[in-house]
Every structure is written in C-alpha cells, then in structure tokens.
Amino acid sequence: MANRIDQTFEKLRAKKQAAMIAYIAAGDPTLEATEALVPALEKAGVDLIELGLPFSDPLADGIVNQLAAARALEAGATTPKVLECVRAIRRVSQIPIVLYTYLNPIYRFGFSEFFAAAEAAGVDGLLILDLPPDEIASNPDFAINSSLKQIRLIAPTTPEARIATLTANASGFLYYVSREGVTGERAEIADSVAERVAAIRATTGLPIAVGFGISTPEHVRQVAALADGVVVGSAIVKKIAEWGKDPALVEKLVEFVTPLAAASKQP
C-alpha cells in the first residue's frame, strides 16, 4: 500500500498547491478530544497532521507546546494510549499522520516494538527531534525497520554539506525550521526562507515543509509560494489551550483553521 504522505504530496503537486500541515499535542486536552479534532481538521482543509507524543522534557518546544504536553500527560496520555487514539482515528479518516516525538518515549517502549505498533496503528511517519542520522548509523538499535517515513529537520544554521547528509537519509518530506530557537508564534516570516528552501531543493526531490512561527493566513500564503508544505503548530495549540474546556472546542478550532488551510491553496 502506498504511503499516505507520498500520495498527499503527489496530489497537491499536480494541482500546484502546498500542503497545510497542522500540529496538535495528542491528549490535549484529552485523547477523546484528539480523536474528534483530527477528522475535523481534515474537513477544515488540513492535509497532514503532526501529532505530538507527550513527553515530560520537550526541549525543542516553546512554552505553548510544552504546556500542551504537560496537560496531555496530566490527563493520562501515554504512548500506548496515543497509538490507540491513532487506531481510532483511522476508523474515520485516512489523513496522513506523523508522530512528532523525542527519543525517550520510543526508547522506553522499545524500538522495534514501537515501530511495529505505530505502523499497525496507522501512523505514516516519524519526526524524532533528537535522533540525528549519525546516531542511527552508529547504533543499529536505532534503525527504523519499517515502512514509516523518516522526516528530517533542517535548521537555518545547518551547513550545506550537512543538508545533503540529512536529505540523503530522509523520506516523506523535509521539515525546514524557519527560525533558530524553539517552537512558537512570530510576527513575521524569516527573510531567509526562500534562499534556504532553494538550498535544500538542490539536494533532494522530496517535498519541503516550512514551520516554526507561522500563525496567520498571510504567513501561510507567503510560505506556500516557496515550499511544498506549511506547518502551523503553536497558533493552533494556543487556541486548544484557550478553548479546551469549551464544549464547542471542535467547532471553534475548525473556524480558526479553515482560513489558514485555504491560504495554503491560494496563489
């Protein structure tokens, strides 16, 4: 069976459109809410979901996403329960799902066991923030022995020689982090995005998604003109924090996300 990530980017490339990628923390405010939010976001125009696996020390994340992980853990989210949540989502939606995670939860679960369980649940790819390809090469226990796509992060400070190493070991798509530092909303898109995306394109035919700091339809429109995908995370997670106890959470989030998704398809 063809991977849902590949299929999605192929369809969008044929239409000359960018993918709208939404990040949410699994289990924030509850796993039941996550199960309802993912298909609702798909109907709002989201093309791919990054689902954060809650972890107690998410050092690459800003305060908004850190608090989301803390809320999810407090609500009882665990790695097995998140995978069961994905399995439940798969009964109603085939939207591509990438697990955004740190190494520790996978290490505790067991590498081969985690990859098999994630694939069986319906996960399409993994974005492991603190596992560089060098470590995989030197430690066979870290190898992803499954059909799960291996999403790689590339930073503004990544040297060009290093970009080639990262793209050579990637699959699915590349995630270009448009700013230094941790996740979070920003007032403006970094001026260097076009140049850096071009440098990455010179090394790979994989789709390139840009994230970190994107929070408005205008931001999305600007980035969609340069990249194959646009990632909105903290802006969405902030709204979940604000509306988490509201019975209309799903409806309100759909209303917020719909114009963001529409902007990814506009010239």
Number of domains the chain contains: 1
Of the listed 50, 124, 185, 228, which one is catalytic?
50
Q: Which residue is listed with tokens 């060098």? A: 134
Question: Is 134 among the catalytic positions?
Answer: no
| Three-state SS at 146 | coil
Strand 125-128 vs strand 149-150: parallel, antiparallel, or unpaired?
A: parallel
Residues of the chain above pLDDT 90, percent = 78
pLDDT of residue 186: 46
CA atoms of 42 and 39, how far apart (whole Å): 5
Q: How far is the CA of 239 from the CAs of 72, 173, 182, 245, 254, in angstroms?
A: 15, 27, 19, 11, 11
pLDDT beneath 70, residues of the chain: 1, 137-138, 141-143, 145, 179-190, 267
Pick left, alpha or beta for residue 213 (phi over 0 → left; psi -120 to 50 → alpha; otherwise beta).
left
| Three-state SS at 71 | helix
Contact 182, 155 (CB under 8 A): no
* pLDDT tens, residue by residue, 100-118: 999 999 989 998 899 999 9
Strand 149-150 vs strand 152-154: parallel, antiparallel, or unpaired?
A: unpaired
Q: How many CB atoms lie within 10 A of CB 85?
A: 22
What CATH number has the domain bearing residue 175? Answer: 3.20.20.70
pTM higher than 0.75: yes
Side-chain half-sphere of 209: how many Cα atoms within 13 Å? Answer: 33
Contact 105, 132 (CB under 8 A): no
Q: Is the peptide bond before 29 cis (omega within 30 degrees of 0)?
A: yes
Contact 18, 208 (CB under 8 A): no
pLDDT of residue 267: 67
CA atoms of 69 and 230, how far apart (whole Å): 22
Range of 169's domain? 4-263
pLDDT of residue 178: 79
CA atoms of 11 and 198, how far apart (whole Å): 22
CA atoms of 73 and 70, how far apart (whole Å): 5
* pLDDT tens, residue by residue, 25-67: 999 999 999 999 999 999 999 999 999 999 998 887 889 999 9
Question: Is 50 among the catalytic positions?
Answer: yes
CA atoms of 257 and 235, how far apart (whole Å): 10
Of the listed 47, 61, 124, 185, which one is catalytic?
61
pLDDT of residue 208: 98
Q: For the chain, how long is the longest CA-to-CA vector?
A: 50
Q: Edge-to-edge, what's the strand order for the sheet holding 48-52?
A: 149-150, 125-128, 97-101, 48-52, 19-25, 229-232, 208-211, 174-177, 152-154
